[in-house]
């Protein structure tokens, strides 16, 4: 199965930007969708952005116009560009892949937006 490792999280001020990376390794075949989810303490895990193979990206309403998902197939890496960050964006962000219909998750990376 594929292994997913997130990086790029950290502390940023409101209005700032951050780019998260998700590196895929191991067996990378059979993946037809990848995306980003996030979970704040005491909250449900929610979808942030997804992209299926051959499809257009989809975004949660709360991040539309601010976040951009992209993939570099040559590097087996997915990115989440996060602009105009808000305090409400504070969460652990998880990389997700659907591999042969099974969900694969990274370990998560903490994003904290605070002044």
| Nearest partner of 100 among 49, 50, 32, judged by Cα | 32
**What is residue 102's predicted lDDT score, i.e. its pLDDT?**
97
Judged by DSSP in three states, 36 sits in strand
pLDDT tens by residue, 99-114: 999 999 999 999 999 9
Judged by DSSP in three states, 22 sits in strand
> Given the structure tokens 């005491």, which residue do they identify?
42
**What is residue 98's predicted lDDT score, i.e. its pLDDT?**
97
Give mean pLDDT in consecutive 10-residue pieces for the chain, a chain of 115 residues.
97 98 96 97 96 94 98 95 98 98 98 97
**What is residue 49's predicted lDDT score, i.e. its pLDDT?**
98
Q: Count H helices and E strands in the chain, helices first.
A: 0, 11
């Amino acid at each position: 199965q594929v292994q997913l490792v997130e990086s790029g999280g950290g502390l940023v001020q409101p209005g700032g930007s951050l780019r998260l990376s998700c590196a895929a390794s191991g067996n990378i075949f059979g993946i037809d969708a990848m995306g980003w989810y996030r979970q704040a303490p005491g909250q449900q895990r929610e979808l942030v952005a997804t992209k299926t193979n051959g499809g257009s990206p989809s975004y949660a309403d709360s991040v539309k116009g601010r976040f951009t998902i992209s993939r570099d197939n040559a590097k087996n890496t997915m990115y989440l560009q996060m602009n105009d960050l808000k305090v409400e964006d504070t969460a652990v962000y998880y990389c997700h892949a659907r591999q042969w219909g099974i969900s694969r998750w990274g370990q998560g990376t903490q994003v904290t937006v605070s002044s």
